[in-house]
Structure 1
Amino acid sequence: MHFSFPSRLRLLGLSVLFPVLASAQTTPPASAAPAPVAPTSPQWYLLDAQQDGGVMGVSVTRAYRELLQGKASTPVLVAVIDAGIDTAHADLRRVLWRNPREVAGNGLDDDKNGYVDDVYGWNFLGGADGRNINEEALEETRLLARLQPLYQGKTRTSVPAAKRAEYDLYLKVKKSYEAKVKENTEQLQQFAQAYAENKQGAEGLKQALGVERLDTATLRNPPTQNPELRQVTTGLYQTLIQTGFASLDDVLVEMQRGLQETKDQQQYGLNLKFNPRSIVGDRPDDLKQRDYGNRDAAGPDPMHGTHVAGIIGADRENNAGILGVAPNVQIMSVRAIPDGDERDKDVANAIRYAVDNGAQIINMSFGKYYSPQRPAVEEAIRYADTKGVLLIHSAGNENNNLDNTTQYPSPNFLNGQRIPNMITVGASSRLNDESLAADFSNYGKVQVDVFAPGNQIYSTLPGSKYGNLSGTSMAAPVVAGIAATLKSYFPQLTAAQLKRIILASAQPVHTKVRQPGSTKLVDFAELSRTGGIVNLYRAVQLAQQPAQ
């Protein structure tokens, strides 16, 4: 649903952090297990498994140091179809695309492309009066709101034959919607209880230790000799290291965000009466309409898009903040993804806008499970292919096997043909152990092309800040960054060649891992077509070979 964020609380797996506090009075202290090695860089995904202690990064730093140093690069334009980007971020300002043919703020369509003052990109979720959609309903909700008045209480035999396919869709959507309402109601209760218990436990532990912050340094060497407290702090320390959090306070912030997301889904995503589309003022069912939206490239909540943009191309030359994967990149903001499910019309128009304005690579960190206007999206994808544009799409975060469940945009066209200019990406974690496949990630031996780091990824956040987010949303821009790097140093490569090189150079991994969403152990290589994790070092080596 909406962005490819996992449910934060399910992702954290921390609802049982503090039952250990309750049992500490009766449980004898356990001997401290050796802590996992933490990478020195918060950007672990840039590291190399061979040279950096087995951290399962994509060898970006090594590729620049050993293969690309001193070589000339050319500018590459990457479009980020998302919720918007903070255009004032100190680590993004220099790398953002600026439309060279548009005069900012003059209220004119200087370049005659149909969009007035589109300096940084375009916003298909805004109205001409400057207002913007932030929250949206899920696609199941929108479909049920439309179909229920037509078919509620009817039997299939009572429906005209020409309408039975739509009636069947109504039954399918109704079942899916009711399941999500049930899940949301249960999660809201569980998450609220988990947050309250963990907050109370954290406050109790802070008092017992006499500290203000429960970070990894404090938990590793707690100011106490009490064996029960040391048992608790050891367990919490190991959990923080394994999940990539710097402190328990950060965990609580994430849990609070996850709780709010669950509330928002109830209030907006699953609300059959919620329809904010009038803000845009377009004709929602007119798939040929292009002239709507506004110039606001950031939108009301650019957190997700800002994080994605930083992964792809945060300034590598300003000696501050973080390093993007790609070196010589311009990032175009195309706002089409709300907090809720994106509309097919907006996705199709966003792809077309990006292509028409020169994007060579498009990052698409979003997805959903119903696509009522799928042909329009596929037509736009085919259009991108005719212009040589490569699309990078996140696989989604519901730990589904996409070989059995279709997520949209699908890797295949309606006719079954594989989309030649799209890569579908699952999310991996930092350690080469049972947790390597991120627990939330969708997967599929046929439908998912490759995996990339997507768990606890450190990148840019609005307000010139930085932080960790997780999701296949974070894995896709790692791949988009690799594609942009290859295109920058080897500009002759076509979209088809870029895709082939990225997939052929993925590092195969045969570690036994937990199949996402279960405790079942499977070969990591069985979770995607390539069986591997993208690797820039290997991709550059392959690109350097004479015949492509």
Structure 2
Amino acid sequence: MNKNRIFNVLLTGAFVIALPLFANAQKPNWQNFDLKTDSTFGISTERAYKELLKGKKSTKVIVAVNDGGVEATHEDLKRIMWVNTKEIAGNGKDDDKNGYVDDVHGWNFIGGPKESVNFETLELTRLVRRDQARFANTTDATVAEKDKQDWEAFKTRRADLEKKLGEAKQGLAGIAGFKNALDAVVKKIGKENPTAEDFKNFKPANEPESRIQSVMSEQLQKGSFADFYEDQIKEGVDYYTRQAEYNLNLDYDPRSIVGDNPNDSKEKFYGNNDVTGPDAMHGSHVAGIIAADRTNKLGIMGVADNVAIMGVRCTPNGDERDKDVANSIRYAVDNGAKVINMSFGKAYSWDKAIVNDAMKYAASKDVLIVQAAGNENQDIDTENNFPNHKDLDEKTIASWITVGASGPKDDETLKASFSNFGKTQVDVFAPGVRIHSTVPGSKYKDLDGTSMASPVVAGLAGLIRSYYPKLSAAQVKEIIVKSVTKVNHNVSYKKGEEENAESVSVPFSDLCISGGIVNAYEALKMAATYGRSSNAK
């Protein structure tokens, strides 16, 4: 799964570590602001409610969050969770005969009889493990002619895995060293939550302490020590630990928890009804962006005001499996979802065909899929990012939107530094920087990523389908793409993740099909008159 990581290299004596940038906070709800009235490049949702939707009736629409789990009891989500009224909660029976027992709020395709999968390997790791067994005694000299292409692919993947694992171990060692040095300095300062001024006044005894002083004095100009430590130090350690011990570990395989045959892509009835799972941070944040309760005067306000969130758990802390993705799409479609948000992606695919078939199925049932473009700052016209529609029919593509992430300022920084892009593969951009939304424990948090931009668009799609229910999925996509606020200036980004990577300036129109940022106000204006000849509302 693509996580929301923005890396900055900090040099601290012997330590060279990669940490997320400690970005300046944005105003909560900025993604719904209007560029002209608020000087913030949101999607004009609040203006649309005030000027276009006031007094209008709407129909409830189900939006599926196919993700890592949604906290159904969250104070800002509990009222808007989908409830399967055909199912009697907790009776251990499949009352609606859909093949899933007690699926009251959705389904968990990475759960088993006793627990659920939390950490998983990357698809890359699984492919290398599979082919390592196949080519156990093979060399360049002995490989059969018919296997040469697969053998070369295996060697490339194995080298990629070894490189990534080495980087993860180096990153873990670096950030652990930084943490230890920082902890020692904080102990000397004698305050639990020191300020930038405390670090400036600290008298370092050696070069590492001087570097800690320099780094922290700068970082704490932008936020508190507690937030920095939690969001960057602890999360950084956890991130590299997950990579080294789980994601890139050939010996790690948690699938026995589920109890299915992971190689049988046709198997559909497995999992459990726990839509929260062991880590609902990502999915809960996504759900809140789409539809957090706009009426309860708590927390935040989602984009859509009359949708029900269906939780479909298919993505662990690692890469999702194609089998689970396909089944999660089919489950959402068969149980009434009209929009599916998929804030995930990966560089390799085990069984792209099974996901393609599920995408085609969704399109045939008039369901719109909204997908995050990914966070590697890559051109996905040329770089692999799965799922993708590079080999799909036009009807399916017409019911599928891919979303890049934008920032709040209408200047050269508009493209989020991490966001993938693609003139033929990415449809639109939407706010995805420091988005404030719901997280477990009835709490709220700022997160970055195309994972946050995608639900902004899914929320807009749900909003349109709610107020104009006669519009088809393809029409809703067309409206969203046609009604963007065009960006007529260049944006800058670095070509690569290295600190000294070349910075380039390109027309924003080169980054996506529409050449703009989604606009709820303009989309709803267009929807009001769209397709009247075909009896659209």
Q: 2:65 corresponds to which residue? A: 80
Question: Structure 2 residue aligned with 1:442, among 396, 420, 423?
Answer: 420
- 2:516 aligned partner, one-letter code: G
CA-CA distance at 1:450 after TM superposition: 1.2
Structure 1 residue runs without a partner (length 5+): 20-35, 224-230, 241-245
Judging changes above 3 Å, is the alpha-carbon distance between structure 1 residues 7 and 211 closer, same or farther for their aligned structure 2 residues? closer
CA contact (8 A) 1:198 1:252 kept: no
Q: Does 1:371 align with 2:349?
A: yes
Cα distance in structure 2, aligned partners of 1:113 and 1:73 = 28
SS in 2 for 1:66: helix
CA-CA distance at 1:428 after TM superposition: 1.1
Q: 1:154 corresponds to which residue? A: 138
CA contact (8 A) 2:76 2:293 kept: yes
Write out per-residue CA displacement over residues 299-343 of structure 1, whole angstroms, 9 at most, x where no aligned residue.
011111110000000001111111010010100000110001110
Q: 1:537 corresponds to which residue? A: 521
CA-CA distance at 1:175 after TM superposition: 2.3
- 1:261 aligned partner, one-letter code: Y
Q: Does 1:402 align with 2:380?
A: yes
SS in 1 for 2:341: strand
- 2:438 aligned partner, one-letter code: T
Judging changes above 3 Å, is the alpha-carbon distance between structure 1 residues 347 and 212 closer, same or farther for their aligned structure 2 residues? closer
Cα distance in structure 2, aligned partners of 1:546 and 1:451 = 22
Cα distance in structure 2, aligned partners of 1:357 and 1:192 = 46
Cα distance in structure 2, aligned partners of 1:233 and 1:143 = 41
Judging changes above 3 Å, is the alpha-carbon distance between structure 1 residues 430 and 507 closer, same or farther for their aligned structure 2 residues? same
Cα distance in structure 1, aligned partners of 2:493 and 2:34 = 24
CA-CA distance at 1:130 after TM superposition: 2.7
Q: 2:229 corresponds to which residue? A: 252
Cα distance in structure 1, aligned partners of 2:24 and 2:445 = 20
SS in 2 for 1:332: strand
Cα distance in structure 2, aligned partners of 1:18 and 1:174 = 32
Q: 2:118 corresponds to which residue? A: 134
- 1:342 aligned partner, one-letter code: E
Write out per-residue CA displacement over residues 322-367 of structure 1, whole angstroms, 9 at most, x where no aligned residue.
1010010100000110001110000000000000000000000111
Judging changes above 3 Å, is the alpha-carbon distance between structure 1 residues 455 and 51 closer, same or farther for their aligned structure 2 residues? same
Cα distance in structure 1, aligned partners of 2:106 and 2:384 = 30
Q: Does 1:46 align with 2:28?
A: no
- 2:31 aligned partner, one-letter code: Y
- 2:229 aligned partner, one-letter code: L
Cα distance in structure 1, aligned partners of 2:193 and 2:120 = 39
SS in 1 for 2:452: helix
CA contact (8 A) 2:100 2:269 kept: yes
Cα distance in structure 2, aligned partners of 1:153 and 1:140 = 21
CA-CA distance at 1:412 after TM superposition: 2.3
Cα distance in structure 1, aligned partners of 2:171 and 2:56 = 52
Q: 1:15 corresponds to which residue? A: 10
Cα distance in structure 2, aligned partners of 1:540 and 1:148 = 53
Cα distance in structure 2, aligned partners of 1:413 and 1:458 = 36
Q: RMSD of aligned C-alpha atoms?
A: 2.9
Judging changes above 3 Å, is the alpha-carbon distance between structure 1 residues 200 and 451 closer, same or farther for their aligned structure 2 residues? farther
CA contact (8 A) 1:445 1:529 kept: yes
CA contact (8 A) 1:199 1:252 kept: no
- 2:161 aligned partner, one-letter code: Y
Judging changes above 3 Å, is the alpha-carbon distance between structure 1 residues 110 and 68 closer, same or farther for their aligned structure 2 residues? same
CA-CA distance at 1:259 after TM superposition: 2.1
CA contact (8 A) 2:326 2:358 kept: yes
CA contact (8 A) 1:15 1:195 kept: no
CA contact (8 A) 1:15 1:194 kept: no
CA-CA distance at 1:161 after TM superposition: 3.5
SS in 2 for 1:154: coil
For residues 465-544 of structure 1, the aligned pairs below 5 Å read: 465-516=443-494, 517=496, 518=501, 519-544=503-528
Cα distance in structure 1, aligned partners of 2:173 and 2:395 = 43
SS in 2 for 1:400: coil
Greater alpha carbon shift after TM alignment, 112-121 vs 412-421: 412-421
Judging changes above 3 Å, is the alpha-carbon distance between structure 1 residues 434 and 386 closer, same or farther for their aligned structure 2 residues? same
CA-CA distance at 1:541 after TM superposition: 1.6
Q: 1:228 corresponds to which residue? A: none
CA-CA distance at 1:462 after TM superposition: 0.4
SS in 1 for 2:37: coil
CA-CA distance at 1:284 after TM superposition: 1.1
Greater alpha carbon shift after TM alignment, 485-494 vs 148-157: 148-157
SS in 2 for 1:360: strand
Q: 1:343 corresponds to which residue? A: 321
SS in 2 for 1:520: strand
CA contact (8 A) 1:314 1:322 kept: yes
Cα distance in structure 2, aligned partners of 1:326 and 1:16 = 44
Question: Structure 2 residue aligned with 1:172, among 150, 153, 156?
Answer: 156
CA-CA distance at 1:369 after TM superposition: 1.1
Q: Does 1:125 align with 2:102?
A: no
Cα distance in structure 2, aligned partners of 1:458 and 1:300 = 22
- 2:226 aligned partner, one-letter code: D
CA contact (8 A) 1:18 1:198 kept: no
SS in 2 for 1:515: strand
Write out per-residue CA displacement over residues 185-230 of structure 1, whole angstroms, 9 at most, x where no aligned residue.
23223333444566667778x77xx995649xx99xx99xxxxxxx
CA contact (8 A) 1:18 1:197 kept: no
Judging changes above 3 Å, is the alpha-carbon distance between structure 1 residues 313 and 201 closer, same or farther for their aligned structure 2 residues? farther
Q: Does 1:99 align with 2:84?
A: yes
SS in 1 for 2:405: strand
- 1:530 aligned partner, one-letter code: S
CA-CA distance at 1:484 after TM superposition: 0.5
SS in 1 for 2:397: coil
Q: Given the two structures, how large is their TM-score scaled by the length of structure 2? A: 0.87
Cα distance in structure 1, aligned partners of 2:144 and 2:392 = 26
CA contact (8 A) 1:280 1:293 kept: yes
- 2:409 aligned partner, one-letter code: L
Q: Given the two structures, how large is their TM-score scaled by the length of structure 1? A: 0.86
Cα distance in structure 1, aligned partners of 2:217 and 2:174 = 26
Cα distance in structure 2, aligned partners of 1:490 and 1:18 = 60
CA-CA distance at 1:476 after TM superposition: 0.5
Cα distance in structure 2, aligned partners of 1:98 and 1:417 = 30
Q: 1:328 corresponds to which residue? A: 306
Cα distance in structure 1, aligned partners of 2:68 and 2:170 = 28
Q: 2:441 corresponds to which residue? A: 463
Cα distance in structure 1, aligned partners of 2:395 and 2:10 = 43
Identity %: 46
Aligned residues: 506
SS in 1 for 2:479: helix
Judging changes above 3 Å, is the alpha-carbon distance between structure 1 residues 359 and 546 closer, same or farther for their aligned structure 2 residues? closer
- 2:93 aligned partner, one-letter code: L
Greater alpha carbon shift after TM alignment, 397-406 vs 504-513: 504-513
Write out per-residue CA displacement over residues 440-489 of structure 1, whole angstroms, 9 at most, x where no aligned residue.
11111221111111111100010110111111111110010010011111
Structure 2 residue runs without a partner (length 5+): 15-22, 202-213, 533-537
CA contact (8 A) 2:360 2:396 kept: no
- 1:449 aligned partner, one-letter code: D
Cα distance in structure 1, aligned partners of 2:395 and 2:467 = 31
